[in-house]
Structures are given as C-alpha cells and as structure tokens.
Amino acid sequence: MSKNKTKLKQGDILLAQPFMEDTNFKQAAILLTDYHDTGSVGFILNKPLEMNVGDLLASFPEFDSPVFYGGPVANDTIHYLHTVGELLEGSHYVLNGVYWGGDYDKLKFLIRTELIKPSQIKFYVGYSGWSPQQLEEELETGSWVVAYGDPNYVFKSDHQKLWKQVMMNKSDVFSILSEIPDSINLN
C-alpha cells in the first residue's frame, strides 16, 4: 500500500505513464467522467480516428466534427462530451464547462439550428472503463499519473500535444518524464 495515496475524483485527467505498453493507452490522456465504488468511466482525449461523426451516424445532421477513440470498451457505442449542459437535457456534469451525453434527439436539433458549434462538442467511439478497485490498483502499480481536469484540455488543446502538455503542467518532474522518447532505443 502506498503512503502517498492519490484521491481520485470525477473530472480528473489520467495520464498513461511514459512506458505503458498497452497500445490502447500509450501516451493517453483520459478524462475521468464517472467515478464511483461500482466502477469508473473515462474517455481518451487524444486519439483521433480518421472519420467524421457523419461517417458513423447516417441520420445525423451535417456537422464537421472529428471522432476520437474513447477506449477499448463497447466500441459499438458513441459518446459525446460538450459544453452545453444547460441546453441538453439529461447531460451528466463532469466538471465546470464539461458535460457528458444528454438527449440525442435534442442534440441533433441543437446542431441543425447551429446552437452547438463543432468547438463545443467532441465525439468518442467506445470508452475506457474500470471495475471496482481496478483503477486504484493500477494507480498503486504506477500505471497512471493523475492531473486536474480542465475544459481547455477537452475542447481547446492540440490533441497531438495533449499528453505532453498536461504532464508539463503538473510539475518539473513530470515535465522531464514527458520528454522521454517512445522507445528507449531512440535515446
């Protein structure tokens, strides 16, 4: 048991440690959207797919919004994080300025009427999930670095630089870790 136990909460960012070998999570920055004793859910913020939301949903209004790989669980589902929780009934509050899900038909209406802009929403295929105590165990073994969440990480940051950016924002030690090459052979 670690003496310096990290207290997780909804809205935190999980950063894969630099040497994580699981390709699903290599240099992943995951927003923890739901955290309970019964399990946890999050979305990888920095793994874009080569498609647009209209490529996945035939009845969806024309909308220029890329889709991201949310994680390896339920890859037959689509989720969305957005800034308009006050307009979209059924939205789940994640942190100030970030909401998850909500009424799908209302979402399509808000997009058709241009009340939601592409900069206010991100779509994800699948999600990252942990059973009870699994995430705590992974923290104990050093798989993840925990950072404070910020809506700018979700909606305004360059996804290609996000993992490094959040690492650098943590502290000097993590800033150094962010500079470690993907392969030690490159050092």
Residue range of the domain that includes 18: 13-166
- Can you tell me the distance from the alpha carbon of 187 to that of 123, in angstroms, rounded to the nearest whole number? 36
pLDDT at 62 over 80: yes
Residue 33 lies in a domain: yes
Residue 62 lies in a domain: yes
Beta strand 121-130 pairing with 66-69: parallel
pLDDT at 45: 98
**4-12 average pLDDT score:** 82
Percent of the chain whose pLDDT exceeds 70: 88
Residue 181 lies in a domain: no
Structural domain count of the chain: 1
Other beta carbons within 10 Å of 159: 18
- Can you tell me the distance from the alpha carbon of 34 to that of 40, in angstroms, rounded to the nearest whole number? 5
For 21-72, where are the E strands, in sequence order? 29-36, 39-44, 48-52, 66-69
Residue 185 lies in a domain: no
Which residue shows structure tokens 């955290």? 35
pLDDT at 90: 97
CATH code of the domain in which 82 resides: 3.40.1740.10
pLDDT at 171: 62
Per-residue pLDDT tens over the stretch 154-173: 999 999 999 989 988 876 54
Residue 68 lies in a domain: yes
**14-34 average pLDDT score:** 93
Nearest to 47 by CA among 75, 28, 72, 21: 28
pLDDT at 41: 98
- DSSP conformational letter for 169: H
Whether residue 39 contacts residue 129, with contact meaning beta carbons closer than 8 Å, is answered with yes
Residue 176 lies in a domain: no
Per-residue pLDDT tens over the stretch 78-90: 999 999 999 999 9
Mean pLDDT score across all residues of the chain: 89
pLDDT at 73: 97
More confident residue, 135 or 18: 135
- Can you tell me the distance from the alpha carbon of 65 to that of 62, in angstroms, rounded to the nearest whole number? 9
Residue 180 lies in a domain: no
Beta strand 73-82 pairing with 98-100: antiparallel
3-state secondary structure of 174: helix
* Ramachandran category for residue 22: left, alpha or beta (phi over 0 → left; psi -120 to 50 → alpha): beta
3-state secondary structure of 52: strand
pLDDT at 184: 47
Per-residue pLDDT tens over the stretch 92-151: 999 999 999 999 999 999 999 999 999 999 999 999 999 999 999 999 998 999 999 999
The pTM of this model reads: 0.88
Residue 63 lies in a domain: yes
pLDDT at 187 over 90: no
Q: Say which residues have a Cβ less than 8 Å from residue 156's Cβ, sequence separation at least 6.
A: 119
